[in-house]
Structure 1
């Protein structure tokens, strides 16, 4: 099987090549491309590969831009370091993906699935548009400072100093890493939209946690989890069974 790799990091493309050949010696990497420009030039003349592995961020842009410039008839498996929120959109768009760092077993499963399905279709324009919109959304800037009313003063509170947000007697309060607490205007739902999901996670209806504040995760009954944080919270923070898997994925990534 002839394969093309689109990846701007030499170590990553070398590793993928090694894994592919280790999984199936009949796989041949016929070309490695490192940019949108090089990919457009190549695929405009050569689409004889059976499968393409493509990173999203390239040296000169986003790989989805390739599909805006030329029609692609070759099936693509994206390799990505994006978080679980972004991956949900890949599923919706019916596009395969592998999460970096690449796992050999998952790579082998993806290749086997490709062979079984015998995909012969490229990527539709509406799929690319949806993913481009998603990338632009995820690359937006998130809130870095809250202006806090505190003792007749307005205090700038940096987001990086906040360990978690917790509802206390109906009021949203931000607890800092030095264990100070400040009342925040707004609801947790609004804060969730303003905070970078790579750094913050909505644990439950009462709490949004910063990754760096996580101290320990304990198994609880019925598949629930208890989360211990720094600084210590006076309220027990519980993750429901329904969210436990997603939360552990967020922590691991």
Structure 2
């Protein structure tokens, strides 16, 4: 388990590391950060992570300002002295909310909940045993169920717990699934690429790419009016994907 700790209180950080070592001795703390900008810089890199522990109120601002701008690589367990931030926490890939001071028993409960959640999500959405890829998606309709073939889909967009598929005609369809992270491994990686935390695009829909700021690209498609923007930590791999 590779873990990032974001905590500006030294004693709280030490306690968290101690709990983590007791829970899983082989866990690796990849970094201990104390400022929002450090979080932005670190998560813009390529370090693989399995879990983030994050305090919310840091000395230079709230952690949400950093997380909203990033394509998070893993779940987040928030640790805070404030109870009022839980709605924002669960909109930022939060899976648990630990109110300080929390006991080792409460920590263990949070970690157990995380592992159970991973198991439940992984089982029904694992890549097909045959080695193939997803062929169709069910659409969310009020009175009937409809099927959308993957061959008709040109991009997926996620927002507010809803995933929308855009077809080759530019029409949008709300899917039963609610997470791009669950959809992505079921798709052919030669055809689809995850540009950022919210957008997954088919190679056939890309018309051109243009520079967007210092480390991102604007992807212009033939089914959306606005360009799709690559997250900074996916730009290099997107270029390699295009050059295959």
| TM-score category of the 2 structures, normalised to the smaller one | 0.3 to 0.5
Give the structure-2-normalised TM-score: 0.45
- Specify which structure has the higher proportion of helix: 1
**Which has the larger Rg?**
1
